[in-house]
Structure 1
Amino acid sequence: MSPTSLRLRRGAMAALLTTAFLVPLTAGATPSTAPSAPATGTPSPSASGPDVRPLSPDVARRLDASVQRVMREAHVPGVTVGVWTPGQPDYVRSFGVADKASGRRMAPDLYLRIGSETKTFTVTALLQLVDQGKVGLDDTIDRYVGGVPNGDRITLRQLAGMRSGLFNYSEDDHFFKALTSDPQRPFTPEQLLDYSFTHPVLFQPGQKFSYSNTNLILLGLVVEKESGRPLGEYIERHILDPAGMKDTLFPKGAEFPAPHAQGYTDQTANGEIAETAGWNPSWGWAAGAMISTLDDLRVWAPTVATGELPDGRRMISAATQRQRLVTPATPIRGAGYGLGIFDVQGWIGHNGSLPGYESLTVYLPATRTTLVVLLNTDIGYRGEEPSTLFGRAVTEIISPRHVFDLPAEPTVR
């Protein structure tokens, strides 16, 4: 990477699970990896107290203060936080501005880009096709897409679980230059795969965990091939509509419904902060292109974590959902990754980031608590993702036995 280019953060669970969607600490760097191990996610032995504290006025005030503290420290323009537990008062707050130029306030009804949370929708589509008998999780990818390195050995399960060994296209130097030189340009899935396939595989399939957006591009192509529908159309018809998520979409290009927040990033060719609402997210496609709102993500958190729709019908079968939630450990203590979903100290879901936006949508089954965080910057603070900072600040207060804590990876330039 040229000395004038600044880093793009890799999206994978802070060091491995931030799923920040984007690219590496240094473009072209090799992701951290570790062998699979039994699932973790148990609370710290030193934790005490209830699984989730009642949302009293005092707890709400503490949340207000903690969220605003993170905003000040990390220089976040605007954030919206929602917490919902059955039988408890809701906590929904917006702080700061949606647009620094106009001073327009952040608000709970705004559309925001959700980055790698898109992965949960793409994998849900795949699992529906598994239920229909159209694909098998242990099928190899070469049955559906040609030209994949090790394609006769990499299974769909390994792609969904980030254990394929394929190079992450968004870590490629040429991709970095193409994206930052023209953020409005469209990318096709095939172009994205080309960036990946010029690199050797990182390891043999199933040996390690390594977060790679390439995996999801391949799974998106599988969904299109076996459903006979464009991916966005399939997701709308078979996932969003049944869930009643009318304010979530898979854009075809740079379209962005109003009202939406402006985004702010330093992931540019010259390292200067840029506005990103008009950037084309097609480079994320099945791995990170989607848009949503607080209310829709409130619905999605329990749906993706349980496989059950709000009306009691199944989004995917109970048997397939059980396979999805097998979350082998990663190098992050207390964090496991299943099929397009993670478990961090009991919180099930995903987070996401792409230039200008970050999000976190997680569900704690023990108390049926949902937490959603949406913000309009992806600029890190002391090497940590802003969404992780907010997730930690909120859960330290509401669920001290289940703190959403993803250790930061040192910044490398």
Structure 2
Amino acid sequence: MTHSSRRLRRGAVTAVAVGTLIVPIAGGTAFGAPAVIGSAATSTEPPSPSASPSGGVRALTPDVTRQLDVTVQQVMRQANIPGVTVGIWTPDKGSYVRSFGVADKGNGQRMSPDLYMRIGSETKTFTVTALLKLVDEGKVSLDDTIGEYVDGVPNGDKITLRELAGMRSGLFNYSEDPGFFTALTSDPQRPFTPQQLLDYSFKHPVLFPPGEKFYYCNTNLILLGLVVEKESGRPIGDYIQKNVLAPAGMDQTIFPTGAAFPNPHAQGYTNQTANGEVADTADWNPSWAWAAGAMISTLNDLRIWAPTVATGVYPDGTRMISPATQKQRLTTPPTTIPGAGYGLGIFNVQGWIGHNGSLPGYESLTIYLPSAKATLVVLLNTDINYQGSEPSTVVGEAITKIVSPQHVFNLPAQPAAH
């Protein structure tokens, strides 16, 4: 298997340090503020953990803001990141919204906070939310087996919906299959059906008995997407839009049915190509990720989503998920990732709850720190690794070392599963 193939299966669809496909409003900088372009700057040492107040987040003072500006731009230079947007919001310690670098290397268009971006595996949080709403409606049970809904699944009479959502099914990850990598990179605009994706997985033997261990796997989410469609009677994108996005007031988040990408959007840059050369991926068809990673969103919508998914409560105070079901979602058994727990389609990393996302050319991170009611969103237009880490990992860790030194989001890249 080629190096690029290994990167695709991990960086574009697994859980890795602050990025994955395959992981709150206050006064401050306005979303419409001019973008800040990266420039030369010297490094600044992060504050000691004692600088963090109760709740775990520092006040976003002018000094802290300047330190964030310097640090983000330094990481961009080191990791060769074309463009990044960062948003931090707290109820009483200020906010920080900045864009650095370029959205399009061809024409020099600046990165800006209003751009649509592909969010990769953050899609999993929406797919699992749809499933949990069906649980609350009594249409499915987390302890149902997948074989009750989808035929032909290896161990389908044993694997539960809970084990699929919690990444403990034992099924092979279709995006690790060499034939899949060849098919995708030879024609990135081609559409894939969910059944085609499952076929890449099911030709491999299961890796372990259900529930035995944690293994981040996109196959699980394709199956859950099919369950949502079967039991709701609607395409998953339609169900999510009506039952999750609209009640949250998220009108800039989309489950695409093809390669269409709303404007304005950033171009994306990857080296996960057939020849390993860097390519612009904005027109790649994300159907290969479907319910595991196809969605598109914006900084503003993800600012809404971070506390909503972490608490199970919509911005208007109504429940998105029942307290009992949300409690199950946030139960995070140990994983193979040091310092991280994974519940039902959601991470808990050093207290930060949410998910990262990575699709060829794009990475994202949307997380919420309940102790401080703080939200962090990071959006990038590259997924090219830096010293073995995804670029969103490097950015997210650098930011949280400054703003929440007692809660550093240090999700390490996940190793190969076998």
TM-score for the superposition, normalised by structure 2: 0.90
1:39 corresponds in structure 2 to none
For 1:168, the aligned partner's letter is: N
CA distance in 2, matches of 1:19, 1:135: 30
- Measure the CA separation in 2 of the matches of 1:398 and 1:386: 19
2:332 aligns to what? 327
Relative to structure 1, is the Cα distance of residues 226 and 74 closer, same or farther in structure 2, using a 3 angstrom cutoff? same
Structure-1 residue corresponding to 2:357: 352
Structure 1 unaligned segments of length 5 or more: list them: 23-45
Give the aligned length: 387
Deviation of 1:171 after TM superposition, in Å, equals 0.3
Whether 1:337 and 2:342 are equivalent positions in the alignment is yes
**Residue type of the partner of 2:287?**
S
Asked if 2 retains the 8 angstrom alpha-carbon contact of 1:52 and 1:399, the reply is yes
Question: Identity of aligned pairs, percent?
Answer: 73
State the Cα deviation string for residues 55-98 of structure 1 (Å, max 9, x = none): 10000000001100110000000000000000222100000000
Partner of 1:307: 312
1:198 lines up with 2:203 in the alignment:
yes
Question: Are the aligned partners of 1:264 and 1:275 in contact in 2 as well (CA < 8 Å)?
Answer: yes
Q: Are residue 114 (structure 1) and residue 126 (structure 2) matched? A: no
In the other structure, the counterpart of 2:254 is 249
Maintained 8 Å contact 1:9/1:20: no
Distance in 1, matches of 2:2 and 2:92, equals: 55
Aligned to 1:293: 298
Q: Which residue of 2 aligns with 1:277?
A: 282
Give the drift of 1:101: 0.4
- Give the structure 2 partner of residue 207 of structure 1: 212
Equivalent residue number for residue 70 of structure 2: 65
Separation (CA, whole Å) in 2 of partners of 1:3 and 1:292 = 29
Q: Contact conserved, 1:383 with 1:409, CA < 8 A, in 2?
A: no
* TM-score, normalised via structure 1 length: 0.91
Q: Which stretch shifts more, 255-264 or 1-10?
A: 1-10
Q: Which residue is equivalent to 2:268? A: 263
1:347-386 paired onto structure 2 within 5 Å: 347-386=352-391
Post-superposition shift, 1:318?
Answer: 0.8
Q: 1:329, CA displacement in angstroms?
A: 1.3
Whether the 8 Å CA contact 1:12–1:18 is kept in 2: the answer is no
Unpaired runs of 5+ in structure 2? 23-47
The CA RMSD measured in Å over matched residues stands at 1.6
Q: Deviations over 1:253-312 (max 9, x none)?
A: 000000000000000000000000000000000000000000000000000000000000
1:20 positional shift: 1.7
Corresponding residue number in structure 2 for 1:20:
20
Residue among 227, 236, 243 paired with 2:241: 236
Q: 2 CA distance for matches of 1:18 and 1:285?
A: 21
Task: Spell out, residue by residue over 1:140-181, the C-alpha distance to the aligned partner (whole angstroms, 9 max, x if none).
Answer: 001100100000000000000000000000000110000000
2:231 corresponds in structure 1 to: 226
Tell me if the contact between 1:5 and 1:271 (Cα under 8 Å) persists in the aligned partners: no
Residue 108 of structure 2 corresponds to 103
Call closer, same or farther: CA 1:221–1:19 in 2, change over 3 Å: farther
Deviations 1:329-380 (A, max 9, x none): 1122221000000000000000000100000000000010000000100001
Q: Is the 8 A contact 1:6 1:271 kept in 2?
A: no
Contact 1:383–1:410 (CA under 8 A) maintained in structure 2: no
Write the letter of the residue equivalent to 1:192: L
